[in-house]
Amino acid sequence: MAPFKSGFISILGRPNVGKSTLFNRLLGDKVAIVAERPQTTRNRILGIKNVEGGQLIFLDTPGIHRGRSELNRRMVGTAIASGRDADILLFLIEATDPHVEKDQEMIDSLQGCIGVPFLVINKMDLLRRQNLLPIMDQYQRLHSFEEIIPISAKTGEGVEILLDEILRVLPESPPYYPEDMITDQTERFWVSEIVREKIIHQSYQEIPYSTAVTIEEFKGHPEKNLVVIKATVHVERDSQKKILIGKGGQKLKKIGEAARKEVEALLGTRVFLELWVNVEKNWTQDPGVLNRIGYPSISNYSH
Ligand SMILES: Nc1nc2c(ncn2[C@@H]2O[C@H](COP(=O)(O)OP(=O)(O)OP(=O)(O)O)[C@@H](O)[C@H]2O)c(=O)[nH]1
Ligand SMILES: [Mg+2]
């Protein structure tokens, strides 16, 4: 019998290339939030996939970019830290929108990582196959990748091949996590992310970048098959608060309803979800507030 394999696989790349979509596709479940705009993911998110003969532990990460704010810098720090002790690094790029120079910078920032590097070319559903070779050529000159694999995280094309190659190079090791565990994120964090996703989907301009969600109360009432959740939505300015609440509270209500439905499906119970909007002036620049609301500065990180 082949020896059991297990290890950490970090998904890295610029914002919006489809890291979280691939992460969810690999896990066969929605564990991370996804949106059309960049900088959606802010934390490292761990997802566990058990296959025959192996346990694959995927790390979804924030997009690597030049940060304007302290939040941006912490996001990038989190991404780079989760590459540091991964066994495999999946560098994800977008087939229709490659940025060779920026990706060069990203790869440089991960120099010294011990993980086996793969180049994963995503969004192949949007590219003609004959346009693939020039991209592969450019990237081969950047770095020596163990594998270059074109995929579509959206349709699933190429994802099985990617999984096979991951399992091939993963080290021999007993599993790190129990077999029934799919993530290490808490239900509280999961709920806060769902609320944030609904806000991103239903708002414009700077609001998605200026919003954070914390859970103040999370109380189960098993006798009523009910969970009561109170969440705070932090924004940076009064004007943003006004926009999020909307006329007669309509907008916040819509966001809350969309989030509640998904949280009910996640928890398998009825949910009462109360949202409260709080202005936390310039929180994206404030180290103290960032620490408090779930975006710590990560320097000595390990999974
Ligand atoms: N056509 C197409 N769209 C995709 C594919 N993968 C992801 N997308 C879309 O690309 C957008 C960004 O996807 P995400 O998965 O949120 O990207 P991300 O890299 O996690 O982004 P950040 O968390 O902001 O760094 C979403 O609108 C996805 O639906 C793909 O294979 N094909
Ligand atoms: Mg993401």
Residue 45 and residue 29: Cα distance in Å, rounded? Answer: 13
Environment of ion ligand 2 (residues, CB < 5 A): 19-20, 40-41
How does DSSP classify residue 164? H
Q: Give buried/exposed letters for 113-144 (b at 16+ CB in 10 A, else e).
A: bebbbbbbbbbbeebeeeeeeebeeebeebee
- Report residue 1's pLDDT band, with 50, 70 and 90 as the boundaries: confident
| Residue 220: Cβ within 10 Å count | 14
Mutate to test the pocket of ligand 1, among 34, 93, 99, 209 (most ligand atoms within 8 A of CB): 34
Instruction: Give the β-pairing of 88-94 and 226-235.
Output: unpaired
- Report residue 301's pLDDT band, with 50, 70 and 90 as the boundaries: very low
CB of residue 41 inside a 6 A radius of ligand 1: yes
Cβ atoms of 24 and 59 closer than 8 Å: no
Question: If you average pLDDT over residues 163-192, what whole number do you get?
Answer: 96
| % pLDDT > 70, the chain | 98
Instruction: Give the β-pairing of 88-94 and 5-13.
Output: parallel
Amino acid letter at 138? Q
* Span 134-174, pLDDT tens digits: 999 999 999 999 999 999 999 999 999 999 999 999 999 99
In the chain the first and final C-alpha atoms are separated, in Å, by 29
Residue 38 and residue 17: Cα distance in Å, rounded? Answer: 8
CB of residue 40 inside a 6 A radius of ligand 1: yes
Global model pTM greater than 0.85: yes
Cα dihedral angle (263, 259, 153, 49), rounded to 10 degrees? Answer: -20
User: What is the average pLDDT score of the chain?
Assistant: 94
CA 141, chain centre distance (Å): 28
